[in-house]
Each structure stands twice: as structure tokens, then as C-alpha cells.
């Protein structure tokens, strides 16, 4: 009996020590996670997620307060990367992924007020006062802030057009 | 020569009988021709003609903007009636920049360069002429032929394989070409050899013309034509799909495997299609640009299947009409072979340089049946010529785990469709794989864009901070002038912006 | 000619499809089982047919009920439920009460297949899941064997067949022992010709080695089964039992080991179930070798006279692992490291 008590005590002590060491050595801070998430986010600080900027959004995601699907400009691809970073399952069919959007200006009613140019978080709008504005499609994230400030409703978001180079067969629709 | 066994693949019912007998026939000049500016891998050509301009047959219509591109030429003489978007021969039905030429029926050639002996030219001159003639790979991928030949400068080439395998069912255009124009093909091969042998010491380059053993007449014709040239040999390869795939043909003929994600020249082998060899012969001997090609018209819905020499830009509808029309409405219309060809939404699309065939298939031929659950029978694993496990990749894709499919070798897939062909449950395996490739590329693009956006946003933040700082400094130094614009002001646009509120009005 | 703008149906390549289909492969297996059914009714009379029918009915009715509301629609026409029921029926003793056979068929489909998500999703062979269920639930009935009566007694139904549901049958006075049971518990060998023709006690389909081989050859020629698995099972079982025979002559000779019990039936009809066996060719070899060795191990050192069922079920569990380590080499690459 003494031998059994001794063995179990020893075993318990050894395993407890192992756990203590593991807790120290494998400690994970919350901060690197938020930083890692922020690195994945677009960084345009557009505020569409409802948080003041990408940093705040990242902290909310890391704390589990916001879903990984919160970033409209990032779309489905970002949601997936966030899900894999956090190691959570993501049902992609639930992600409302409107096709990626870009802002398009209607030249006939643009007054050249430059409000959009100043608010654009990625400097995607070119143009001088009282001149037509042009939008650099590759730099536009489709955040829509320019649409909000445009006084003449000249700006609107349009889905990015599919081209021969970007087209691909859709996922097969099978009941099985 | 010993043929090395290639793993996987399937024996297909060739269905080549119907179109393989008749001689190649020329098509009457269609009323108008749609010449897309991008018929090749690389950047689209830039138009050098204007609407309303009269062009001669063979005249340059579009110029390549860089080395990785190819020019396009007027297929016949006539007037340029439009430069703009027109439907591309593509399942999406999307438009592509196209020059439309209304033919005047005169067939008046532009003045061609005087013939010279191409075998006396040096490599650079040969390659330049091939590039200027707009010759691209005619096997289907349409890789600019001169760019491929120039790879010799980066990798020492020891073997030139001329691909006459033609493993796709129905297609017989290469078969007929080899039977009827064997001498010309051999001449094209000699010209390529001449270019490849430039500045090369050591053993000379061997040329092997590989033909599937179901094309006895073509094999005999080329053997006869090649007999006078010791460096060129013909070789019969087994009739087994996808033998015409570049990497698999190299494996069968040389026993070597091109490493994954690498180009064939890296192991010293260059592969060109027989049609390309013929186009090179024409370009170098006669100075004629690539403005026509042999196209197989076949399929159960076609009244009289045959091979035609067709001008590039001929609408598919014109080809169908000239060939005697259709016996019945086709269930599917496609460009290329039934295994890898591109489905066409309608017949108002042009024949392009990469068009090997137009097939109008009946519903009996395609035997479309609904998909059933996968029973993991492993047939797709056994037949995959790339040594992949399609069942595993597709189950990853169906579960939304595209990265998982990547880990199982999605990017090593050549898209030959052997798995989908063999699947007893009729699961569209190839569509899943192609979808995943497209989706991953799209995600890559999105990711790239997000990174770019972050960079731009960061730059803007810095700039605003600097401007604020500069303004603060100015305000301290010259308090009375604070409403003056900071230096480097308005009209230049984006890079130098002001945040001065007065400007907004 | 089509009018301009008329849109054709778009379908991704390839447009051609091979002649092989899943229902056709299932049908092939059913054909290969027909001689066994005839053989079973020759030796065990009408009872054999009734047990088979009950098991198949249990499987088919369960499949039908549960596919009523399924998104993919009715799934009976793929014949997989019929096949599972027949395979289960052929692994049951001829005197089994019919209601038990029916419950076994229902368990095969319900617990063996449907709860995993239907055809193609189950990790374990459904027919063997049903049999394991029956063996656990009704151990006595599942190990009570009848001596073959031969064609003379065709119409004589074994009384225990007709036991009422939820009743245990009365123990039959005519009960006999299987060749493996004789060997294990009484150290008595059955002559090889009897094993070949099926003139022994045993499960309905396992008794006649020749008829099983006939079906196997047909399936291999039709390429409906992966011959590698069958060959690997038989090869490893022969080698392993041969070794054991060398060490201790009390163990049966390899040829006797092969033809007694359900080894042959399992190797040809059960282990080759595509759903639960590895898809990779090298994996098929490993899978088959594992089954052969495990089956002989259980026979020789385990408590049961026959081990093929548990050997197959155990190896079914290892299929994902085997597939992981036997990925083929992609073209132009070294072996993948997963």
C-alpha cells in the first residue's frame, strides 16, 4: 500500500511539474494575435466593420467579439484566411460575398468638388478641383466612403467586371 | 527506339474515322473576318490600322507591345470596318478586342519579302521572322513560337520533339497535314533545327517526330520525307490519351520527367506541334504570316465532316455554312477536342490560331448523365497521368478547403480530364479542379490588392501626418500667413494634395 | 443553321464519358453473387433463400424510408442497398430467425451507411457492421450452425427460422459445427473437397470455395473489384498460416486455411468494397496484407474460430491513414510528404 501511495504521489508530482513548465514555456499572449489579424486586414481604415479602423477591428476579432466575416472589402477570401488563422470553422455559404466592388464616377454629373478625393483612404481618386475625377481601379477597395460624401451622386459602387482572364468555371451545383 | 511507359491515361474511342479521309479543302472567303488581338499566351497585340482603312492580305493589323506577345495580320484584303469588342471563342461568352475586316474578295497580297534560303540565316534572323509572322503554337496553347525557340539561349537543347500525337478524339487536322504536307513539315523542322544549332558545340540536336500509332499513313508519309535527313526521325507512340500533353510525350519519347512547375527546355527538350512546323516553313520560305490554319470540322451533327484550311478570323457559323451545314441542331458546340476543348455559347465567334477543330456533337455522343455519389472506387487515381489523387482533391474542394486541395497537388494537374472521363459516378471532377484553380487565383488577386491598399493607406497616413506637421510648423513661424497653400500645390493631383479647407468649395 | 444569338448549353470539358458506371459495377457484384445464392439454396434449402430475402428486405426498406426526405432523392436505383443486404444475408447462418436477419439488414444500412451520410461516406463495410451488430446482439443464434441438408431437404425449413420477433429460438437438435469450429475446438480437419464444394456447415455464402472463386474471377475480369486487395489478403493469409503451420503442425495447412471459414468470401466480396478500402494502389496492397495477417491472428490466437470480419473492420478503420502514407508520386516530383 505504501508503494502504491508513493508511486501515485510521485506520478502526480511529476505530471504537475510538467504542466507548470508547459504553461510557462508555451504561453500565448493575446497581443500577437491581434497584431497578426491586423496584418491580414486591408488596412484602409474604412470603418465599414463598425469599428474605428482596422486595428480596433482586429482587437475585436481577437477577443471573439466580432465575427471573421466583418470586413466587406476583404470579402470571402479574407474571412477564410482569418478563420484559418484563428483555427475556427467557417461556413462559406453564409458569407454574403457580393462580388468585389469598385467605385465608378459618372462623368456627366461630377462637379469636380474633390471631396471624394480627400476622403479616399487609399488615394485611389485622381483629379483636381473642378475637373473630372478618375478612379484607379486597382487601388480602389470598394469601401464606399466616397459614395457617401459625393454631393451629386455621381459616384456609385459597381461590381468588378469579369474578363476573359479572370473568368473561371463556377463550382458544380450538385445535390450530392 | 524504346518507348517508355507513361503512368495513367486511358484508351479513348478515337471517333476520327468520319473526318480523316477527305483531303484538306480551302474554304471560300467569308464576307467578314473577326481577328482578335489576343490569340496567344501573353499581352494582346496593339492595333496599327484605323477603321475605314483598306488592308491587303497579310498586312499587319496588330503589333506586339512586348516580347511576350505575337502580331496579328489581315487574313484577306478588304476594309477594316470595326475595331472593338466582339465575342471571343470562349465558354464565358465575353468579348475580346477584335479587328473586323470586310473582305473585298480580291485576295490581294501585300508585297512579300523576296524568298531567301532560311537555312543560310542565323538563329536570331530565323526567330525574328517567325515572330514577325505571328507564328504561335498551333497545338492549342498558342504559346508564341519564337519565344519558345529563344529559350535555347537559356537552356542547352539536345532534343526537338515534333508533336504529331493528336490524342484528342475527333480531331484529324494534324493527321491530314502530315499526310498531305510531309515535305513542308520536315522543312519547318529543319529550319527550327538550324536555329537551335546556332553557336552549339558538341553533338548535334536530334529531332523526333512523335505520332500516335493509330495514324499509319501520316507516320509513313513523314518517315519517307524525313529519310533524306539523318538528324530527323519519326517515332510511333502508343495511342493513349493524353499522349499529346507535352510533359507526357517527353516522358514517353525520352524517358525523362519534366520537373513539376518547370518548363521542358530546362531538361534540354523543346516541343513544337507539326502545325507550327508547317507555319514556320511558310513564314520562312515564302514570307507569309500565319493567317490560316487547318481545322477539323466533325461531330455527329455535322453533315459532312472534313478538314478545312480556314482563314484566321472566319466566323464558326461561316465554316459550318460552307461545309454544308448541320444535319441536326447540335447538343454542344465546341472548339478543340471533346476532352479539353472550349465550349462555345454560339457560332458567331471567330476561328483563331489555336483552333484545331470545331465539333458539333449530338446528345447521343456526349451521353450526359447526372452525377451520383462518389464510391471512392479509385479509378481516377489509377488513370491520372499526373500521379494525383483527384478524389481527395475534390473532396477537399467540396468541403471548401481549397488549401487542402493545393496540398494534394492541385497545381500539378494539367487539366486533361481523364479523371472526369473515367469516373463511374459521373462526377465533374475536372470542373471542381478548374473551379478551385480559378478561385485560388482570384483570392491571390484579392490578397494582392488588399496588400496594395494597405500600402497606399499607410502612405496616405504618413503624408497627412507630414502635412499636419508642416502646417503646424508654418503656423508657428508665420502666424499671419496660415491660410496660404503649402508648397507644391493643387493642379498636379494625387501625389501632392492639400488639406486646405478653402479648396473644397 | 442556328440563328445568331441562340445560346447552346455550356458544359465543362470533358464531354466524353467512359462506359463504366456505378450502378453497373454494383450490378456486376450482384451477378457474381448469383452462383453463391444457388449454391446456398442447394445445400441449405429454402431456409437460405428466406434468410437472404429477409436481410435484403431489411436493407432495402431502411434505405427507402430514409431517402424519402433526402436532398439527393431516392437512392435505391444505385443498387447499393440491395447489394449490402445480399452480402449480409450470405454471411448469416441458415437457421437464423428471419426477424433477426431483417434487423441485421436494417442495421447494415442504418448504422453502417446512412448515419455517416449515405453511400460513399461510411468508414466501415456496412454489411459487416450489420453482421457485427447481429453477433453482438444475438450471439447464440449467430453461432448455431446447421449441417447442409442437400437438395433432398430443399423444402424443409429450419424451425428456428420462424422464431417470432423478440423471441429466442429453441436450440436446434440438428445443429452442427463449422470447419473452423471443428478445428479450433475439436482439432478435427474437414476434407478439402467438401470445403471446395460447400458440403460443410457455415454461413450461407462462405461454404463453397469454388463458387466464390468463380465470382471473384468474373469481378476481376470486369474490373469491378480491385484485384490487388484480394490477392494481398489471400497471399498474406497463406504465408502467415504457412509459417504458423511450420511452427506447429496443429495449425491448418495454408490451403485448408484459405478455403475454410469466410476468408475467401471476405477477401473477394467484403474487403474489396471500394468505399471502405484505400484508393491508392500501394494502399490496397497494405490494406489486403493487414487483413490477411489479422484474420489468421484472430483465428489462431483469438477466442473466435473465424477472424475475417473483425480483420476487415479493423483495417477499414486504418484506411484514411493508409491513404495518407501511400499517396502516389506526382508527375515530375518526389514522393509527397503529407
CATH architecture of the domain C22-153+162-325 equals: Orthogonal Bundle (1.10)
Return the percent helix, strand and coil in chain C, to nearest 5.
Answer: 60, 0, 40
Local confidence band at C264 (pLDDT 50, 70, 90 cut-offs): very high
The pLDDT value recorded for residue B494 is: 43
A84–B443 C-beta distance less than 8 A? no
Fold of A101-159: Alpha-Beta Plaits (3.30.70)
Please tell me which of the candidates C6, C72, C332 has its beta carbon nearest to residue B260. Answer: C332
Q: Which residues of A touch C12 (CB under 8 A)?
A: 169
Q: So what CATH class is A30-94? A: mainly alpha
Please tell me which of the candidates A163, A171, A172 has its beta carbon nearest to residue B94. Answer: A163
C117 touches chain A (CB under 8 A): no
Has domain B370-466 been given CATH number 2.40.50? no
| Among the ranges given (B468-482, C94-108, C260-274), the one the predictor scored with the smallest mean pLDDT | B468-482
A176–B88 C-beta distance less than 8 A? no
Q: Taking a C-beta distance cutoff of 8 angstroms, is the pair C205, C36 a contact?
A: yes
pLDDT in tens, C60-92: 999 999 888 777 667 777 889 999 999 999 999
A175–C72 C-beta distance less than 8 A? yes
C11 touches chain B (CB under 8 A): yes
C118–B373 C-beta distance less than 8 A? yes
Q: Which residues of A touch C72 (CB under 8 A)?
A: 175-176
Give the neighbours of chain C: at least 3 Cβ pairs within 8 Å.
A, B
Q: What percent of chain A has pLDDT over 90?
A: 8
Q: Where are the domains of chain B?
A: 17-29+116-298, 370-466
State yes or no: cis peptide before C14, omega within 30 of 0.
yes
pLDDT top residue among B364 and A176: B364
For residue C71, give the chain A residue with the closest CA.
A175
pLDDT in tens, A129-172: 777 677 887 788 778 888 888 888 888 888 888 888 888 888 88
B409–C330 C-beta distance less than 8 A? yes
Interface of A with B in 91-110 (CB under 8 A): 92, 100
Interface of C with B in 25-54 (CB under 8 A): 25
Q: Where are the domains of chain A?
A: 30-94, 101-159
Please tell me which of the candidates B333, B341, B391 has its beta carbon nearest to residue C8. Answer: B333
State yes or no: cis peptide before B146, omega within 30 of 0.
no
Mean pLDDT, range C168-196, rounded to an integer: 75
Which residues, other chains included, contact B309 with Cβ-Cβ below 8 Å and sequence gap of 6+?
Answer: B24, B25, B26, B27, B292, B293, B294, B295
Positions in chain B whose pLDDT score sits under 70: 1, 199-202, 478-505
Is residue A63 predicted with pLDDT exceeding 90?
no
B376–C13 C-beta distance less than 8 A? no
Per-residue 3-state assignment (H helix, E strand, C coil) for B237-287: ECCCECCCCHHHHHHHHHCCCCCCCCCHHHHCEEEEEHHHHHHHHHHHHHC
pLDDT in tens, C7-59: 677 888 898 888 888 888 899 999 999 999 999 998 888 999 999 999 999 99
| ipTM field | 0.87
Q: Where are the domains of chain C?
A: 22-153+162-325
B434–A123 C-beta distance less than 8 A? no
Give the neighbours of chain A: at least 3 Cβ pairs within 8 Å.
B, C
pTM listed for this prediction: 0.85
pLDDT top residue among C179 and C338: C179
Mean pLDDT, range C102-117, rounded to an integer: 94
For residue A171, give the chain B residue with the closest CA.
B435
B389–C21 C-beta distance less than 8 A? no
SS3 C129: helix
Q: Which residues of A touch B94 (CB under 8 A)?
A: 162-164, 167
CATH architecture of the domain B17-29+116-298 equals: 3-Layer(aba) Sandwich (3.40)
Interface of A with B in 148-167 (CB under 8 A): 162-164, 166-167
Per-residue 3-state assignment (H helix, E strand, C coil) for B371-403: CCCCCCCCHHHHHCCCCCCHHHHHHHHHCCCHH
A87 touches chain B (CB under 8 A): no
Residue by residue, DSSP assigns C169-229 as: PPPPTTEE--HHHHHHHH--PPPHHHHHHT-SSS-TTTS-HHHHHHHHHHHHHTT-S-HHH
Mean pLDDT of chain A: 80
Amino acid at each position: 500500500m505504501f508503494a502504491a501511495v508513493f508511486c501515485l504521489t510521485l506520478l502526480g508530482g511529476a505530471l504537475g511539474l510538467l504542466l507548470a513548465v508547459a504553461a510557462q514555456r508555451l504561453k500565448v499572449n493575446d497581443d500577437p494575435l491581434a497584431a497578426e489579424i491586423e496584418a491580414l486586414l486591408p488596412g484602409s481604415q474604412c470603418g465599414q466593420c463598425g469599428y474605428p479602423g482596422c486595428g480596433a477591428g482586429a482587437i475585436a476579432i481577437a477577443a471573439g467579439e466580432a465575427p471573421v466575416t466583418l470586413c466587406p472589402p476583404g470579402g470571402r477570401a479574407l474571412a477564410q484566411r482569418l478563420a484559418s488563422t484563428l483555427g475556427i470553422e467557417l461556413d462559406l455559404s453564409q458569407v454574403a460575398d457580393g462580388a468585389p466592388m469598385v467605385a465608378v464616377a459618372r462623368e456627366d454629373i461630377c462637379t469636380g468638388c474633390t471631396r471624394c478625393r480627400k476622403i479616399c483612404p487609399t488615394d485611389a481618386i485622381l483629379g483636381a478641383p473642378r475637373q473630372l475625377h478618375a478612379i484607379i481601379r486597382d487601388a480602389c477597395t470598394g469601401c464606399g466612403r466616397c459614395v457617401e460624401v459625393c454631393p451629386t451622386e455621381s459616384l456609385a459602387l459597381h461590381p468588378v467586371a469579369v474578363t476573359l482572364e479572370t473568368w473561371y468555371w463556377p463550382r458544380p451545383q450538385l445535390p450530392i | 527506339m524504346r518507348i517508355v511507359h507513361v503512368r495513367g491515361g486511358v484508351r479513348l474511342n478515337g471517333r476520327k474515322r468520319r473526318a480523316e479521309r477527305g483531303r484538306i479543302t480551302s474554304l471560300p472567303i467569308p464576307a467578314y473576318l473577326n481577328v482578335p488581338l489576343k490569340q496567344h499566351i501573353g499581352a494582346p497585340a496593339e492595333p496599327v490600322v484605323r477603321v475605314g482603312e483598306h488592308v491587303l492580305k497579310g498586312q499587319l493589323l496588330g503589333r506586339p507591345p512586348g516580347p511576350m506577345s505575337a502580331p496579328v495580320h489581315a487574313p484577306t484584303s478588304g476594309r477594316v470596318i470595326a475595331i472593338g469588342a466582339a465575342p471571343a471563342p470562349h465558354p464565358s461568352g465575353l468579348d475580346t478586342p477584335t479587328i473586323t475586316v470586310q473582305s473585298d474578295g480580291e485576295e490581294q497580297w501585300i508585297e512579300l519579302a523576296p524568298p531567301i534560303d532560311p537555312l543560310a540565316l542565323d538563329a536570331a534572323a530565323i526567330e525574328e521572322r517567325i515572330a514577325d509572322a505571328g507564328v504561335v503554337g498551333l497545338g492549342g496553347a498558342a504559346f508564341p513560337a519564337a519565344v519558345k525557340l529563344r529559350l535555347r539561349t537559356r537552356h542547352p537543347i539536345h532534343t526537338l520533339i515534333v508533336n504529331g500525337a493528336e490524342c484528342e478524339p475527333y480531331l484529324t487536322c494534324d493527321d491530314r497535314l502530315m499526310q498531305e504536307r510531309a515535305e513542308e513539315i520536315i522543312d519547318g523542322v529543319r529550319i527550327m533545327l538550324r536555329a537551335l544549332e546556332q553557336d552549339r558545340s558538341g553533338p548535334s540536336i536530334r529531332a523526333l517526330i512523335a505520332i500516335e500509332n493509330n495514324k499509319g499513313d501520316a507516320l509513313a508519309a513523314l518517315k519517307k520525307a524525313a529519310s533524306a535527313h539523318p538528324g530527323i526521325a519519326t517515332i510511333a507512340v502508343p495511342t493513349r490519351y493524353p499522349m499529346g500533353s507535352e510533359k507526357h510525350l517527353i516522358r514517353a519519347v525520352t524517358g525523362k520527367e519534366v520537373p513539376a512547375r518547370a518548363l521542358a527546355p530546362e531538361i534540354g527538350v523543346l516541343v513544337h506541334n507539326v502545325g507550327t512546323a508547317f507555319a514556320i516553313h511558310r513564314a520562312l520560305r515564302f514570307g507569309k504570316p500565319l493567317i490560316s490554319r487547318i481545322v477539323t470540322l466533325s461531330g455527329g451533327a455535322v453533315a459532312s465532316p472534313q478538314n478545312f484550311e480556314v482563314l484566321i478570323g472566319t466566323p464558326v457559323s461561316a465554316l459550318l455554312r460552307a461545309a454544308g451545314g448541320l444535319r441536326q441542331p447540335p447538343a454542344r458546340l465546341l472548339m478543340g477536342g471533346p476532352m479539353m476543348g472550349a465550349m462555345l455559347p454560339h457560332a458567331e465567334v471567330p476561328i483563331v490560331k489555336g483552333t484545331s477543330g470545331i465539333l458539333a456533337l449530338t446528345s447521343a455522343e456526349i451521353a450526359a448523365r447526372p452525377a451520383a455519389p462518389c464510391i471512392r472506387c479509385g479509378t481516377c487515381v489509377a488513370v491520372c497521368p499526373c500521379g494525383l489523387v483527384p478524389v481527395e482533391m475534390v473532396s477537399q474542394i467540396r468541403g471548401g478547403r481549397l488549401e487542402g486541395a493545393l496540398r494534394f497537388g492541385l497545381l500539378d494537374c494539367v487539366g486533361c480530364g481523364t479523371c472526369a472521363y473515367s469516373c463511374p459516378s459521373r462526377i465533374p471532377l475536372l470542373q471542381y479542379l478548374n473551379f478551385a484553380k480559378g478561385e485560388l487565383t482570384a483570392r491571390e488577386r484579392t490578397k494582392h490588392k488588399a496588400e496594395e491598399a494597405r500600402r497606399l493607406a499607410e502612405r496616405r497616413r504618413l503624408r497627412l501626418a507630414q502635412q499636419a506637421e508642416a502646417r503646424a510648423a508654418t503656423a508657428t513661424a508665420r502666424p499671419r500667413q496660415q491660410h496660404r497653400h503649402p508648397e507644391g500645390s493643387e493642379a498636379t493631383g494625387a501625389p501632392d494634395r492639400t488639406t486646405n479647407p478653402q479648396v473644397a468649395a | 443553321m442556328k440563328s445568331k444569338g441562340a445560346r447552346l448549353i455550356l458544359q465543362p470539358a470533358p464531354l466524353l464519358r467512359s462506359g463504366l458506371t456505378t450502378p453497373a459495377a454494383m450490378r456486376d457484384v450482384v451477378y457474381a453473387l448469383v452462383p453463391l445464392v444457388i449454391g446456398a439454396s442447394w445445400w441449405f434449402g429454402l431456409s437460405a433463400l428466406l434468410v437472404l430475402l429477409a436481410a435484403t428486405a431489411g436493407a432495402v426498406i431502411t434505405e427507402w424510408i430514409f431517402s424519402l426526405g433526402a436532398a439527393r432523392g431516392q437512392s435505391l436505383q444505385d443498387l447499393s442497398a440491395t447489394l449490402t443486404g445480399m452480402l449480409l444475408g450470405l454471411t448469416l447462418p441458415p437457421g437464423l430467425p428471419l426477424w433477426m436477419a431483417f434487423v441485421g439488414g436494417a442495421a447494415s444500412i442504418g448504422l453502417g451507411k446512412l448515419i455517416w451520410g449515405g453511400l460513399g461516406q461510411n468508414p466501415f463495410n456496412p454489411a459487416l457492421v450489420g453482421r457485427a451488430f447481429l453477433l453482438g446482439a444475438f450471439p447464440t443464434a449467430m453461432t448455431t450452425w446447421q449441417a447442409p441438408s442437400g437438395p433432398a431437404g430443399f423444402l424443409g425449413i429450419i424451425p428456428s427460422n420462424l422464431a417470432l420477433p423478440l423471441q429466442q429460438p429453441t436450440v436446434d437438435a440438428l445443429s452442427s459445427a463449422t470447419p473452423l469450429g471443428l478445428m479450433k475446438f475439436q482439432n478435427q480437419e474437414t476434407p478439402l473437397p467438401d470445403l471446395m464444394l460447400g458440403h460443410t456447415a457455415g454461413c450461407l455464402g462462405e461454404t463453397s470455395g469454388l463458387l466464390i472463386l468463380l465470382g471473384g474471377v468474373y469481378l476481376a475480369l470486369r474490373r469491378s473489384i480491385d484485384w490487388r486487395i484480394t490477392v494481398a489478403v489471400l497471399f498474406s493469409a497463406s504465408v502467415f498460416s504457412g509459417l504458423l503451420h511450420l511452427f506447429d503442425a496443429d495449425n491448418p495447412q495454408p490451403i485448408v486455411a484459405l478455403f475454410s471459414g469466410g476468408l475467401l468470401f471476405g477477401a473477394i466480396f467484403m474487403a474489396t468494397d471500394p468505399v471502405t478500402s484505400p484508393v491508392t494502389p500501394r494502399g490496397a496492397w497494405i490494406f489486403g496484407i493487414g487483413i490477411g495477417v489479422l484474420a489468421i491472428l484472430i483465428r489462431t490466437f483469438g477466442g473466435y474460430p473465424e477472424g475475417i470480419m473483425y480483420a476487415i473492420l479493423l483495417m477499414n478503420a486504418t484506411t484514411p491513414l493508409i491513404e495518407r502514407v501511400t499517396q502516389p508520386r506526382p508527375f515530375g516530383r518526389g514522393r509527397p510528404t503529407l
